[in-house]
Chains A and B, each alone.
Chain A
């Protein structure tokens, strides 16, 4: 019933480098205002390998779990469970594919799905003949951004 959210964009580097940066350097690129604590000096960590934890650590040393790596297949595919807030029962799935286009050209395809686990919440709106999850995400399916030309 619920469409995944998909985005894709091109990066001028190899798939190996993209995979490495996505995982080991997630703390350098994930927007720090989109964290549980919202602190500026928060550290975000994605542990290598299936079963690896994804978490943030605040300046005070408090850790908040974000999820867990479910598929670790470098340099082509990565999947993880991603909690909404702190509730692991409401985890969604994020899948990232690193598609080699050339030696220095990789397409990143992100699919964010599993919204049906919040189904009863989406139903809250649908029950009043209003908008549901399934009507939302197809609009976001188009490429978010692409490399030049």
Chain B
């Protein structure tokens, strides 16, 4: 089952101590929002916002259990980071080379 491609930035997702803590909590087992909130000094709405960001970045996913939403680590979570980095550096390298060569004062004619 796919719930759409991850579109968030995994760097942004990981660049926050609370979100890293949430990932750590989920490594010990799947959890509902209120269970995560019980372990952190932040409100449930705040936990939900962090979870949404982690979900958008492809780090966590959710499934229904009765009326509850249960969150778990996405198997390919770290691959999302790798894919992101490859994309960033790939684009950066290509754009850098174009710029450097087009502005090169010693360019052969």
Contact = CB atoms under 8 A, between A and B. Distances in A.
A83 interface: yes
Interface in B30-77: 73, 75-77
Interface residues of A, number: 49
B14 A13 contact: no
A34 B78 contact: no
B40 to A, nearest CB: 15
Contacts of A136: 78-79, 81-82
Interface stretch (A48-56, A72-80, A122-130): A122-130
A130 B59 CA distance: 13
A121 B23 contact: yes
Nearest to A30: B92
A140 B23 contact: no
Interface in A110-144: 110, 112, 118, 120-125, 127-128, 130-133, 136-137, 139-140, 144
Contact of B99 (A21, A85, A110, A118): A21
A84 B10 CA distance: 9
Contacts, number: 133
A17 interface: yes
B85 interface: yes
A10 B103 CA distance: 15
A124 B89 contact: no
Contacts of A30: 92, 95
Instruction: Report the contact-size class of chain B (Cβ under 8 Å from the partner).
Output: 35 or more
A12 B107 CA distance: 8
Nearest to A104: B106
B81 to A, nearest CB: 7
A64 B75 CA distance: 31
A18 interface: yes
A34 B88 contact: yes
Interface of B: 9, 11-17, 20, 23-24, 26-28, 73, 75-79, 81-82, 85-86, 88-101, 103-108
17 contacts: A5-B85, A11-B101, A12-B101, A13-B100, A13-B101, A13-B104, A21-B100, A25-B103, A34-B92, A85-B13, A104-B106, A104-B108, A118-B20, A121-B20, A124-B73, A131-B78, A136-B81
